Structure 1
Amino acid sequence: MQLADLKQVYFIGVGGIGMSAIARYFNSRGLKVSGYDKTETPLTRSLESEGITIHYGAANVALVPVSADDLLVVWTPAIPASFAELAKVQAGDYTLLKRSQVLGLISRGMDCVGIAGTHGKTTTTTITTHLMNVAGLEPSAFLGGIPRDFSSNYVHGTSDWVVVEADEYDRSFLQLDPAIAVVLSCDADHLDIYGDHANMLETGFRAYARKIREGGKLLIRYDLADHFTEIDHVTTITFGIGAGDYNAHNIRVEDGAFHFDLKEPDGHLITDIRTALPGRHNIENALAASAVTRIAGGSEAALKEGLATFKGIARRFETKLKTDKIVIIDDYAHHPTELTAAISAAKELYPDKTIRGVFQPHLFSRTQDFAAGFAQALDLLDEAILIPIYPAREEPIPGVTSRSIYGKMNSTNRRLLSDEQLLIATAELADGVLLLLGAGDIDALVPKIVAQHQNTLTHG
């Protein structure tokens, strides 16, 4: 498949964050881009405003373009195999590729920075892109979120550098051949794909490391390095808080922002780096992005300027409302480690406020696998509210509901609510920090919850 021969691309599931970035890539190159998605969203409306044709709701096989040599159809595993448009393409004479395969084709031949990890991929990919831009390296990028610095999940660069989110789900990252590969974390996840953690390490993350180009670089959190000792065709570089080749230390909070010093492999010290990103987990993300930027040739001054000016990403500890009494924060956390990080960051930034959290579990399988971990994380809250599971691509699993988590919690200050009950409960809050947590459609409730409190501020 030669991308240069294409004139039209059709996306089945165009509104996904990864799919839409690739749609924007092809659209920016003047190809005819169209597609399907289940529902209209702010992201799909943005795609339409850019000239991409989208239809919604039920499958409409009549709107699938006629098979042609210059047509590529791209699909995402989030689409069920029974979906009529996908079935038509699979049965016909079409070139059909997964999103991950297309990303592999696009990035091949470029200097690819692939950022992997069960947590932190989107934030680190976006910080890296921003830092490299500030450093004048002008990378292209395919991002898993909408950063405020770019207002798009696709960044068109002019150099050979391309920064991509290397996704472990469905082993998608094995389509990449990175020049620099980052591994931020490799906790157990996606066990519906891998079966167990050991298999995830071997057929997922270690297999990804083996895909690094000969003579490339593996940048890995220092406490994970022992899992990758047999990867000997690359240079392994570690990073971490208090340890590693790139070492962040002297971490402190000043004027509501984190500051730290960075010791580089040659002993050089970069002092008083400032980042407005919350939480120590984001120090690690910033550290990985800084290391990539320095390896790629970015200057010390660009690194400090870039981290100080980075504006953040939608749904990554995004402050939606902040008054003297109440703070509302929206976060994509959908794994126990991510929940713990978000809650801990809120406690560190707002030590004198009551920390409440609303959690929408994402996937029945993940809830089944990690109910105890979710319960332990949610027990860190002063008050926890659970709403129904967001199923995404899955059918229900008997006996697996949000109550599976609720029943394992030790906290007595916890509630199980419907979406409608949640809106009533949150409207009654007068103070404290409210965390809205989850990777499903909880984001559709966020503006309603914020509007309630803005209305109260306006009208008393």
Structure 2
Amino acid sequence: MNLNQIDFFYFIGIGGMGMSSLARYFHSIGKTVYGHDRNETFLTKKLEKEGISINYHDTIEFLPKWVLSKQCLIVYTPAIPSHHKQWIYLKKYGKNIKKRSQVLSLIIENDICIAIGGTHGKTTTCILLGHILYSIGMNITAFLGGISENYQSNLILNNVLNGKKIFLVEADEFDHSFLYLSPNIACITSFDQDHVDTYPRKDALKKAYITFSNRVKKPYKKIFLCQEESFQSNNAIYFSVLKKENYYSNHLYVKENKWYFDFHTPTEIWKSLPLPIPGQHNLKNVTAALAISDYLKIPKEEIRKALFLFKGIKRRYSIHYQSSKKIYIDDYAHHPTEINAFISTVRICFPNKKILGIFQPHLFSRTKFFEKSFAKSLEHLDILILLDIYPAREFPINGINSNNLLKKIQMSSKEISTMSKVLKKIEKKHFDIILTMGAGDIETLIIPIKEWLYKRYGEINEK
């Protein structure tokens, strides 16, 4: 398909992170973009402010007149349920229909592409690398899996006249989406088991990642692999935070509540670089981004400057309130490994503090598979408020619910809550730090919690 011959785009599920970055891209190059989502969110409101039309009613009456024309491409996400009315109608009568990952592959197929994959860390790595490439003036278009605080978007565009265009994308393993990509440079940060609805066994996930690694092509034809978690490849450049590989980082230390580390290239050491997002787990992600940057021959002083100017990522260790009395941090953590890393980082940054955690499980299949691991990871909190499972694309599974998960968690201060009653429960707790965690709609609690803290405890400390 020639995307230049497409004038109209209709996105089913436009509010998703991957879908919205594509919608923004086509809107930015002058295409007519419409979309549907089931709920109005912060992200969909931003898209509407940017000039993209969105409907929130699952009926065909809200479809634009041109949606069935040959000049329209209908873009969908695998998360759309089979009973969705607009989707049923468009599958039957639409002329051009593509999955999001297929459209992404069409966009990048004739240009240089860097693809970042991994169960954990791909969004942090991708956004930091995108920031570095943008900062030095590269002709970069980056499709991100999170919102960059620097650019307040999940799309970075830097259309410059000089320099070959480079696309930077996240390689999403869900539904084997990343196997549509054939990047010139790829990276795998980790392949801890997840998306068990797609990969019921870890060997199936590893096989998919190996297939992805074999899709790298010339020029470059390189894949950056984390030594601690990856496999062998003839085209590999290894990075590590434990072993002395091609690229590695060490000497992580905290000074005046700021994190620093040393980065080793094959030829030199870069001393005392700032770690822009706290945590040992983020050191690995930053190491990956720096390794690719050095491989692309970006000067180290430019990289150091970009690190200092990096403002972070929404819902990745996002501190929303910090006073002398209370602290509130939100994170996207929705896997036991991520929860462990998040809580551990908080305890390092704020020792001897009593932590209240609010967690929303994401997907019935993930909760079922990791039930015992979730229980163990949540036990690192002092107080737990557990929300109902966010189903996303799934139907309920018999016996899998938050009540049963709560029974497996060995701690004295724990309870279930609905979203609407969380604030009332928080008001009765004695804590120093609030954490919200999850990949569903738990982010809708951020503003109410911030407003309550501000009203009750006063001004936020100046940084």
* TM-score, structure 2 as length reference: 0.95
Identify the residue that residue 167 of structure 1 maps to in structure 2: 172
Where 1:333 maps in the other structure, the secondary structure is coil
Amino acid of the structure 2 residue aligned with 1:255: E
Tell me which moved more, 23-32 or 65-74.
65-74
Identify the residue that residue 454 of structure 2 maps to in structure 1: 454
Identify the residue that residue 278 of structure 1 maps to in structure 2: 278
Give the RMSD, CA atoms, in angstroms. 1.6
Is 1:184 the counterpart of 2:189? The answer is yes
Where 2:281 maps in the other structure, the secondary structure is helix
Amino acid of the structure 2 residue aligned with 1:107: I
Q: Find the aligned partners of 1:4 and 1:66 in 2 and give their Cα distance.
A: 17
Query: How has the CA–CA distance of structure 1 residues 384 and 89 changed in structure 2, closer, same or farther, with 3 Å as cutoff?
Result: same
What are structure 1's unaligned runs of at least 5 residues?
none
Is 1:324 the counterpart of 2:324? The answer is yes
Identify the residue that residue 104 of structure 2 maps to in structure 1: 103
Identify the residue that residue 209 of structure 2 maps to in structure 1: 205
> Could you tell me how far 1:194 is from its partner in structure 2?
1.6
Q: Find the aligned partners of 1:343 and 1:458 in 2 and give their Cα distance.
A: 25
Q: Find the aligned partners of 1:431 and 1:366 in 2 and give their Cα distance.
A: 29
Identify the residue that residue 363 of structure 2 maps to in structure 1: 363
Alignment of 1:408-423 (within 5 A): 408-423=408-423
User: Would you say the 8 A contact 1:253–1:259 is kept in 2?
Assistant: yes
Amino acid of the structure 2 residue aligned with 1:193: T
Identify the residue that residue 219 of structure 1 maps to in structure 2: 224
> Could you tell me how far 1:302 is from its partner in structure 2?
1.3
User: Would you say the 8 A contact 1:217–1:237 is kept in 2?
Assistant: no
> Could you tell me how far 1:431 is from its partner in structure 2?
4.3
Q: Residues 10-52 of structure 1, C-alpha deviation per residue, up to 9 Å, x if partnerless?
A: 1111111110100010001111110111111121111111111
User: Would you say the 8 A contact 1:387–1:402 is kept in 2?
Assistant: yes
Q: Residues 158-183 of structure 1, C-alpha deviation per residue, up to 9 Å, x if partnerless?
A: 34211111101001111111111111
Where 2:104 maps in the other structure, the secondary structure is helix
Q: Find the aligned partners of 1:452 and 1:252 in 2 and give their Cα distance.
A: 34
User: Would you say the 8 A contact 1:14–1:20 is kept in 2?
Assistant: yes
User: Would you say the 8 A contact 1:216–1:235 is kept in 2?
Assistant: no
> Could you tell me how far 1:242 is from its partner in structure 2?
4.4
Amino acid of the structure 2 residue aligned with 1:101: Q
> Could you tell me how far 1:419 is from its partner in structure 2?
2.1
Alignment of 1:56-455 (within 5 A): 56-64=56-64, 65-158=66-159, 159-202=164-207, 204-214=208-218, 215-225=220-230, 227=231, 229=232, 231-232=233-234, 234-266=235-267, 268-429=268-429, 431-455=431-455
Amino acid of the structure 2 residue aligned with 1:196: R
Amino acid of the structure 2 residue aligned with 1:307: L
Query: How has the CA–CA distance of structure 1 residues 353 and 66 changed in structure 2, closer, same or farther, with 3 Å as cutoff?
Result: closer
> Could you tell me how far 1:403 is from its partner in structure 2?
2.3
Amino acid of the structure 2 residue aligned with 1:29: I
> Could you tell me how far 1:130 is from its partner in structure 2?
0.7
Query: How has the CA–CA distance of structure 1 residues 434 and 113 changed in structure 2, closer, same or farther, with 3 Å as cutoff?
Result: same
> Could you tell me how far 1:374 is from its partner in structure 2?
0.6
Q: Residues 322-358 of structure 1, C-alpha deviation per residue, up to 9 Å, x if partnerless?
A: 0111100111111001101110110110012112211
Identity percentage over the alignment? 36
Q: Find the aligned partners of 1:183 and 1:271 in 2 and give their Cα distance.
A: 25
> Could you tell me how far 1:93 is from its partner in structure 2?
4.4
Amino acid of the structure 1 residue aligned with 2:216: I
What are structure 2's unaligned runs of at least 5 residues?
none
> Could you tell me how far 1:276 is from its partner in structure 2?
3.3
Amino acid of the structure 2 residue aligned with 1:400: I
Q: Residues 259-302 of structure 1, C-alpha deviation per residue, up to 9 Å, x if partnerless?
A: 00111123x11101012311111111111111111112211001
Query: How has the CA–CA distance of structure 1 residues 254 and 101 changed in structure 2, closer, same or farther, with 3 Å as cutoff?
Result: same
> Could you tell me how far 1:239 is from its partner in structure 2?
2.9
> Could you tell me how far 1:61 is from its partner in structure 2?
4.7
Where 1:144 maps in the other structure, the secondary structure is strand
User: Would you say the 8 A contact 1:148–1:313 is kept in 2?
Assistant: yes
Q: Find the aligned partners of 1:57 and 1:257 in 2 and give their Cα distance.
A: 47
> Could you tell me how far 1:241 is from its partner in structure 2?
3.8
Amino acid of the structure 1 residue aligned with 2:11: F
Amino acid of the structure 2 residue aligned with 1:42: F
Amino acid of the structure 2 residue aligned with 1:163: L
User: Would you say the 8 A contact 2:116–2:171 is kept in 1?
Assistant: yes
> Could you tell me how far 1:58 is from its partner in structure 2?
2.5
Q: Find the aligned partners of 2:101 and 2:35 in 1 and give their Cα distance.
A: 17
Q: Find the aligned partners of 2:409 and 2:399 in 1 and give their Cα distance.
A: 17
Q: Residues 31-89 of structure 1, C-alpha deviation per residue, up to 9 Å, x if partnerless?
A: 11101111111211111111111111333355143422221000011111221111112
Q: Find the aligned partners of 1:70 and 1:57 in 2 and give their Cα distance.
A: 24
Amino acid of the structure 2 residue aligned with 1:447: I
